[in-house]
Amino acid sequence: MKTAASVLLIISGLVTLSCSQPKTVQQEQKVADDLEPKFSDTINRAETIVANKELELKLKGEKASIDALAPDTNSLVLLAKLPGKHKLVRVINDQWPEEVEASYNILKENSQLRYFVEVPFSESGDWFIAYKSYFDSEGRLFAFQKETNFFNSECTNEAAREISLKYYDGQFQLIDSVYTLTDSNNKPLKRSSCFFPYDFPFKMYRTVEILKNELNINGY
């Protein structure tokens, strides 16, 4: 019995000793290798977040610069779409055709198209919609804003105002988005309580080239 107990004691001591042995260089390297991808992933994610934030601020600043130029009607090219006609006609000296299906505003900077607005015509006057496209210096869409003012929303007795704004990077990946829904006094409205009778389908043009080709406005 004494001998057996001694053997068990020795074995137990060896197990304890083996468990408490310091890690070898190979073991420590394996631990470091296991941790390195996780650490690298964390660093990469942090760098991506910072880069996206910097790009977001840059794009917002670029949009603000274009918005500052847009009110100058002398800098805008005005076009109109006539019912049943594919080719757009230019509007000069505010001489609009009698029947208009939609109007378009074009703003160019250094001979490059930077801003394009499509405004469908509302015969009833119950709604107003503007689709605003912002393009960078390389002709890529970097911001798109849909602005709708409308009655018959069932969530306010006055006109409701809906604004959806989205920012994109050079690969057309969404960077940031802003959405607001308010009444005429800028009081927030609950979307689920509202009715949107004028939520029509619309097109987004990823590049100036696509825009010009689809609307046949290469001359502008």
CB 129 within 8 A of CB 200: yes
96-127 pLDDT per residue, tens: 999 999 999 999 998 899 999 999 999 899 99
Q: Among candidates 196, 162, 158, which has minimal Cα distance to 179?
A: 162
Residue 14 pLDDT greater than 60, yes or no: no
Look up residue 64 and give its two tokens: 């603000």
Q: In one letter, which amino acid is 22?
A: P
CB 117 within 8 A of CB 131: yes
Q: Looking at residues 147-173, what average pLDDT do you find? A: 96
Q: In one letter, which amino acid is 48?
A: T
168-192 pLDDT per residue, tens: 999 999 999 999 999 999 999 999 9
Site of tokens 């160019």: 108
Q: Which helix (H) or strand (E) holds 105?
A: strand 102-109
